[in-house]
Amino acid sequence: MKSLVAASVGGLSLLAVAIIDRPDPAANPTLTSPLASSASFDAPLSDPPVRASAPTRRGLGHPVLSPAPSAIAPSALTDVVKKTCAGCHSEQRKQGNLSLQGFDMANINGSPELAEKMIGKLRAGMMPPPGRPKPGGDTLDVLAGTLERMMDARYALNPNPGARTFQRLNRAEYERSVKDLLGVDIKAESWLPLDTKSANFDNIADVQMPSATLLDSYLDAASEISRLAVGDPKASVSTSSYKIARLASQVDPVEGAPAGTRGGTSVTHTFPADGEYVFTITLHAIPTGQLFGSAAPFDEKIEISVNGERMAVLDVDRGMSQADPNGMEIRTKPISVRAGPQRITAAFIRTFEGPVNDNIAPIGHSIADTQIGSQAGITTQSHVQMFAVTGPFNPTGVSDTPSRRRIFSCRPLTPSEARPCAEKIMTRLGAQAYRRPLAPNDLKGLLTFYDAGAKDGGFELGIRTAVEALLASPHFIFRVEEMPAVSKPGSRVAVNGLDLASRLSFFVWGAPPDSQLVSLGRRGLLTDTTVLIAQTKRMLADKRSSALSTRFAAQWLRLSDIEKVHPDALQYPDFREQLADDMVQETELFFDHLVRENRSFLDLYTANWTYVNEDLAKHYGIPGVVGTDFRRVEYPANSGRVGIFGHGSVLTLTSHANRTSPVLRGKWVMEVLMGTPPPAPPPNVPDLEKTGDSKEGRMLTTRERMEEHRANPSCRSCHVFIDPIGLAMDNFDVNGQWRIRENGTPLDTRGDFYDGTKITNALELQKALLKRPTPLVRNFTQNLMAYALGRRVEYYDHPAVRKIEAQVKANNYRMQDFIVGVVKSDAFRLKKVMEQADSGTKGVSAPGVR
C-alpha cells in the first residue's frame, strides 16, 4: 500500500501537493471567511491605551498614537542610558551581545528589537547589575515606561500580526488526530523522528520543514496505521516490542496489571488479526551477564494476561545468563488473541505483602548503576527489560473492533453498493481528517485509491488503501492556511474561519477541532468576538483542555528534562522511574487545576498545596495519603515547600546525578520563569565541575565550590544573579527531599537577590520574585502566545503581550484570562500576507514549489 500512496506524490513534496491542490475559495464559497475590516469583528482587535482625541486609522480601527508626555525629556533619558549602561554595553565590550554606545531616544523607533530587550531587562530590575551605580528615584521606571509607550505607538501605526508558512502535525498532534479519526492508540515515535524544538516548543513552524526522510516516515506510519485500523486477515508475522526502563521499580504494581502482581509492564496493543501470538519476556542482567548476584532464596514467576485474564505462567530460572542460547529470554507457547486493541500484561506474581525490607531498594543497585562489585549482591529480584509480541500465526480473520466500527459506517450488500458506500465513508472520514468539508477533487483522489485497492482485494482492502492515502495526505499532515484570492503583500487579513477553528483547537486541546468548531468556522461565525470567546470557554471546560498542562506547561517548564537525570543509585536508592513519573504528573495536575478553576497565575508561586499520591506523599513526608490516586493536599507547616518550588520534578531536573546544582536551578528560574536567561559563559572559563571536591580532608559543599568558581571575575558577573536564586532552593536534594546538611556540613543557603533582598529559602525567593511580577507575567504570556501561534514571539508581538498583561492584572491574573487574551489578539486572529520573495507563491502563505 505504501508504494501506491508514495507514487501518487509524483516526486513533489507533500507540502507542494498541498499548495497545488488546495481548494479554490472562489469555487467553494463555504471555505472563505470575510477579509479583516472594521465590520468583521464585534470588538476592536487591538486597543492600546490612547487619549480620547486620538484619530483612527482607516481600515482596521487601530488608533494612531503618539507617546504620552514623559516626566523626563528624551534627551535626558538618552544621557541616562549612555552614562549608566554604555560603559558595559559598548562596541568594544558588548556585554550581553548588546551595544548602547550609539543609543538615542529620538531614534529608538528604528531599533525596536533593541528597545524591547532594554524593556525586558529594566522591568526585571536586572540592569544596572548589582554593584554598579544606578540613577536616583524612579528614573529607570520612567525610561522603561517611555520605551513601552513608544513601541506600542509604533505598532499602532504599523500593525504586524506576524505570519508563518505552515504547521506540520508533530508527534503528539499526530497521535491525537489518529485517535480522534480512527479510534486507534498509536505511538508516533514508532515511525516519526524526534520533533525539533524552537522557542521551548515542538510545534513551532520555523523548524518543521519537511525532508525526504520525514515524508517517508509519514508514509510508513500511514501504511501501518491503516492496517491496524481496518485489520489484516492476511497479516504476515511481525514483532512489536515494549521496553521497560532500567530505573523502573519491580516492587510497585503497574497500572493496568491484574491484582496480585508487581513490576513488569502493562500496555494496550493493537492486534492486526485474529490468530496466535507468542509473547517474549527479556530480563535485565547484572553487569556480569547473570540474572542475580545474591544467594537469597528465590521463587519467581511471571504471569502473562490479556485483558486481565491469565494466559500463561512462566518460571524464572535463577541460573539464567546472557551466555545461554536464548540469553535472558522467556517465551510463551502460541496464545490465541482476537484482533483489535487488547490490554496485555507481563508481571511478576506477588509472593510477599507489606513494606519491602530496608536492604532491598525498589530497583537493585547493580541494575540501576550497572556497577560490578559488592552492590551486585543487593539485587534480589529480577527485572523485566523487554516485552515483545510476535504474530499472527495461523490468522483466521478479523473480529469486530472499535476502529472498524468507526470506519465502516455502511456495508455493501451487493457489488453495485460498494462504491457508493465507499464514497460515503471517505466523505465523512476525509472531512474530519482535513478539518474542513471535502472539495470534489479531494474525494475524487481518495476514491481513486479505493478503486485501486478494491481491484486487488475487494471492498475492505479498497477502504484500507483509501485510509492510508488519507493519512499520507498533505491536507492531513500539514496545516496550510488559506489566503484570500486577492491580497496585497504586506497587508493584514483575517484568518479563514476553518483555519481559525484549527488554531483554537490545537491550542486548547492539542487536537483537531470538533464538529461544532468546524461548523462555526465554515459559516464564518468564529470571527465574531463573542462567539470566539464562548467557544474558548467551552473548550476550557472540556477535559481535553488538559493538553494545556501535558503539552504547553510540560514543555514551558521543561519537565521532560527529568528523563536526563538518573540520581546516583548508591546515594538515592529509592529513586525510580515511577517516582519520576509521579513528580511530572504532580506538576501537570497542579497547572491543570489552575486553568480549570481559573485561579490566579500567581498561585504558581504562592500555593501552599499540591497534588500527590501515596508514594509521592511519603517521599515528601506528607502523612495521611493512601492509594495510587492523586489528590490535592496542603503542605505541612514548616515543610519548606511553596508553589512550584516545592515540586520534585523541578528540583530533580535542575540537579546532577550525584549532587544538587544551584547554578542549574538559578538558571532555570531566570530562563524559564523570568524570561531573562543569563548569557553564555565566556570562553576559557573553567567549568564548575572542575573545581576541587575536597579541602583539608573533607568534602566541599556545593556552596563552597561555587564560591571558588565565581572568584574568577569573568564568572562573577553572571553568578551574582544565578547563585542566590539556586542556593535558596538548596535545602532540597537531588530528588526533591528536604535536607539540612550536605557532606555532613550544615547547609548555608543565605544569599542576596540581585535587587539586594536577603533570601535563604524558597518562600523568601518567591516573595522576592513577586515584588516585581511583571517579568513573570510577560514571560508566561510570551510562551503561551508562541505555543498558540506556532511561531516565535518577535519584537512586534510585545505590545500585544503588554496589552494582555494589563487586562489580566485587573482581574488578579486569572489563568483563563491569559488564554482568552491570546485568542482575542491580532496575532491569533489575523496574519500578514507574506511578500512574494518570502512565500514564493502569490497568495499562499507557504514556501514556494521548486
Q: What is residue 759's three-state secondary structure?
A: strand
- Least confident range of 129-138, 595-604, 623-632, 814-823: 129-138
Min mean pLDDT across 187-201, 245-259, 631-645 is at 245-259
- Alpha-carbon distance of 612 to 125, in angstroms, equals 36
Instruction: Tell me: pLDDT of 40 over 70.
Output: no
Instruction: Look at residue 677 and tell me whether its pLDDT is greater than 60.
Output: yes
155 within 8 A of 137, measured Cβ to Cβ:
no
Candidate from 59-68, 320-329, 504-513, 537-546 with smallest mean pLDDT: 59-68
Q: What cell was used for 403?
A: 476502529
* 284 contacts 246 by C-beta, under 8 angstroms: yes
Among 57-61, 539-543, 767-771, the range scoring the smallest mean pLDDT is 57-61
Domains defined for the chain, CATH in brackets: 1-46+177-231+408-543+799-850 (no CATH), 74-157 (no CATH), 238-400 (2.60.120.260)
pLDDT tens digits for 253-281? 899 999 999 999 999 999 999 999 999 99
pLDDT confidence of residue 290? 81
Mean pLDDT of 494-508: 97
Name the band, by pLDDT with cuts 50, 70 and 90, for residue 134.
confident
CA distance 610 to 586: 7
Could you say which DSSP state residue 510 is in? S
Mean confidence (pLDDT) of the chain: 85
Which pTM does this prediction carry?
0.88
Measured on CA atoms in the order 450, 451, 452, 456, is the torsion positive or negative?
positive
Mean pLDDT of 422-438: 97
CA dihedral 771, 774, 779, 780 (to 10 degrees): 80
Q: How far is C-alpha 559 from the geometric centre of its chain's CA atoms?
A: 9
In this predicted structure, the answer to whether residue 111 has a pLDDT above a threshold of 50 is: yes
How high is the pLDDT of residue 48? 35
Rounded Cα gap, residues 545 and 535, in angstroms: 12
pLDDT of residue 102: 81
Q: Is the peptide bond before 392 cis (omega within 30 degrees of 0)?
A: yes
Strand partners, 349: 261
- Average the pLDDT over 457-484 and give the result: 95
* Max mean pLDDT range (121-135, 136-150, 506-520, 561-575): 506-520
Q: Are 248 and 577 in contact (CB under 8 A)?
A: yes
**What is the pLDDT confidence band of residue 50, given thresholds at 50, 70 and 90?**
very low
Q: How far, in whole angstroms, is CA 659 from its chain's centroid?
A: 27
The whole-number pLDDT of residue 846 equals: 34
Percent of the chain with pLDDT over 70: 82
C-alpha 249/C-alpha 254 separation (Å) is: 9
Largest Cα separation within the chain, whole Å, is 92
Confidence of residue 839 (pLDDT cuts 50, 70, 90): very low
Binned at pLDDT 50, 70 and 90, residue 516 comes out as very high
Give the residue, 412 or 28, on which the prediction is more confident: 412
And the C-alpha cell for 51?
487619549
Q: Which comes out higher in pLDDT, residue 109 or 653?
A: 653
The answer, yes or no, to whether residue 41 has pLDDT greater than 80, is no
Mean pLDDT check: name the lowest of 192-201, 473-482, 678-687: 678-687
CA-CA distance, 737 to 619, in Å (whole number)? 7
pLDDT (tens digit, 9 = 90+) per residue, 72-94? 888 888 888 888 887 777 776 66
Q: Is the pLDDT of residue 42 over 60?
A: no
Q: Tell me, what's the pLDDT at 623?
A: 95
Distances in Å between the Cα of 129 and the Cα atoms of 139, 717, 721, 834 are 16, 8, 8, 41
> What is the rounded distance in angstroms from the CA atom of residue 608 to the CA atom of residue 618?
17
> What is the pLDDT averaged over residues 172-180?
97
Pairing of the two strands 751-752 and 745-746: unpaired
Distance (Å, rounded) from C-alpha 655 to C-alpha 670?
16
Model confidence at 584: pLDDT above 90: yes
**Highest averaged pLDDT of the listed ranges 28-32, 319-323, 531-535, 747-751:** 531-535
Question: Is a pLDDT exceeding 70 seen at residue 779?
Answer: yes
Whether pLDDT at 524 is above 70: yes
pLDDT of 296 > 70? The answer is no
> Greater confidence, 509 or 367?
509
Mean pLDDT of 647-651: 98
Q: What is the distance between the alpha carbons of residues 608 and 51, in angstroms, rounded to a whole number?
A: 43
> How confident is residue 503, by pLDDT bands cut at 50, 70 and 90?
very high
Phi, psi at residue 315, to the nearest 5°?
Answer: -80, 140
Side-chain half-sphere exposure of 214, counting CA atoms within 13 A: 19
State the pLDDT at residue 847.
30
Burial 22-44 (b: 16+ CB within 10 A, else e): bbebeeeeebbbeebeeebbeee
Q: Say how far residue 842 (Cα) sits from the centre of its chain.
A: 34
Dihedral (Cα; 46, 49, 54, 56), 10-degree rounding: 0
pLDDT tens track for 692-714:
555 555 667 777 777 766 666 66
pLDDT computed for residue 5 by the predictor: 62
By three-state DSSP, how is residue 73 classified?
coil
When mean pLDDT is compared across 48-52, 589-593, 644-648, 649-653, the lowest value belongs to 48-52
Mean pLDDT of 371-387: 67
| Predicted local confidence at residue 173, as pLDDT | 98
The string of DSSP letters for 330-388 reads EEPPPEEE-SEEEEEEEEEEP---SSPPTTS-SS-HHHHH---SGGGGG--S--EEEEE
For residues 394-410, give the mean pLDDT. Answer: 96
- Res 358: pLDDT: 47
Residue percentage of the chain with pLDDT more than 90: 65
Q: Quick one: pLDDT at residue 297?
A: 52
